């Protein structure tokens, strides 16, 4: 009985120490190098984490709150580093296209971002009636369709260099081998890219002779260079 009381008392003492002891109070928060898209990261840390109990930190909830504040975050992980540090690892969204004649880049979900390091990605020409601001998200269906095409092409053997939204029904994509591909906005983008891959795989050596591939038809129309 005495041993049980001692154990219970010890448990209360440990709980008291965990809650009220400055030993487990969060004193510092560190961000990884990919957190550049988060402005005032240290202020966020001070306002939300510094001084709180590390033991009772809800890592998932903290990650959710931060991610909801910044559209540029692709993924986030909050880790406790005992006795008094929190480590926040952020994966920023990557641009997949540069908007022609501007300083802006687009992520695959239409978010406008600025990039300060050179990246080799295709250039997209948007309709002229778009006013652009950093951290803005474009919701035009044709732009989002073009971005989905680009995202899938970047995973393929076809290297896109220039993308134009021709009209409501077609997207024109030029490759680094001067092949023009016309995609239909009325057909599944992934299936169209898969079909393009099959065409290029079958062409192999003769692929350099291809001038244009029109994916708008049930059976893609291939034109050769003259």
Q: What is the pLDDT of residues 23-37, one digit of tens each?
A: 789 998 988 867 667
In the chain, list all ranges with CATH 3.40.50.11690.
Answer: 95-224
Task: Give pTM, 2 decimals.
Answer: 0.79
First to last CA, the chain: 97
101: left (phi over 0), alpha (psi -120 to 50) or beta: left
Give residue 13's pLDDT band: very low, low, confident or very high (50, 70, 90).
Answer: very low
Half-sphere exposure of 167 (CA within 13 A, CB side): 1
The pLDDT tens digits of the residues spanning 88-140 come to 998 889 999 999 999 899 999 999 988 867 788 999 999 877 778 877 899 99
Question: What pLDDT, on a 0 to 100 scale, did the predictor assign at position 9?
Answer: 46
Rounded percentage of the chain residues whose pLDDT exceeds 70: 86
List, in order, residues 6 or more apart from 133 with CB less than 8 Å away.
112
Residue 85, pLDDT > 80, answer yes
Question: What pLDDT, on a 0 to 100 scale, did the predictor assign at position 47?
Answer: 79
Domain boundaries 2-92, CATH class: alpha beta
Sheet strands (E) in the chain: 28-31, 73-81, 85-92, 95-99, 104-107, 112-114, 123-125, 160-165, 170-175, 180-184, 210-214, 221-224
DSSP assigned state of 38: S
Over residues 205-225, mean pLDDT: 86
The mean of the pLDDT values for the chain is 86
d(CA 111, CA 104): 10
Cis peptide before 133 (omega within 30 of 0): no
- 3-class state of residue 146 by DSSP: helix
d(CA 28, CA 189): 46
Most distant CA pair in the chain, distance: 97
d(CA 58, CA 63): 9
Q: Count the Cβ atoms, other than its own, within 10 Å of residue 1.
A: 5
Residue 18, pLDDT > 70, answer no
Question: What pLDDT, on a 0 to 100 scale, did the predictor assign at position 6?
Answer: 44
Domain boundaries 95-224, CATH class: alpha beta
In the chain, list all ranges with CATH 3.10.20.310.
Answer: 2-92
- 3-class state of residue 206 by DSSP: helix
Name which of 26-30, 107-111, 157-161, 162-166 the model is least confident about.
26-30
Question: What pLDDT, on a 0 to 100 scale, did the predictor assign at position 184?
Answer: 98
User: Beta partners for 99?
Assistant: 124
């Amino acid at each position: 009985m005495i041993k049980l009381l001692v154990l219970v008392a010890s448990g209360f003492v440990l709980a008291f120490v965990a809650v009220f002891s400055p030993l487990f109070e969060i004193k510092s928060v560190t961000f990884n190098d990919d957190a550049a898209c988060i402005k005032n990261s240290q202020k966020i840390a001070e306002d939300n984490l510094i001084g709180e109990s590390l033991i009772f930190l809800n890592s998932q909830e903290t990650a959710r709150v931060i991610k909801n504040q910044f559209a540029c975050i692709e993924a986030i992980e909050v880790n406790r580093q005992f006795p008094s540090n929190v480590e926040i690892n952020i994966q920023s969204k990557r641009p997949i296209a540069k908007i022609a004649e501007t300083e802006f880049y687009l992520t695959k979900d239409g978010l406008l971002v600025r990039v300060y390091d050179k990246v080799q990605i295709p250039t997209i020409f948007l309709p002229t009636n778009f006013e652009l601001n950093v951290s803005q998200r474009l919701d035009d269906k044709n732009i989002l369709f073009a971005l989905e095409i680009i995202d899938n092409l970047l995973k393929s053997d076809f290297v896109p260099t220039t993308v134009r939204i021709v009209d409501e029904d077609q997207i024109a994509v030029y490759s680094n081998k001067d092949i023009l591909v016309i995609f239909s906005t009325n057909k599944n983008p992934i299936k169209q890219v898969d079909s393009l891959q099959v065409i290029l795989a079958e062409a192999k050596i003769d692929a350099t002779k291809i001038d244009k591939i029109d994916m708008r038809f049930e059976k893609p129309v291939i034109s050769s260079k003259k």
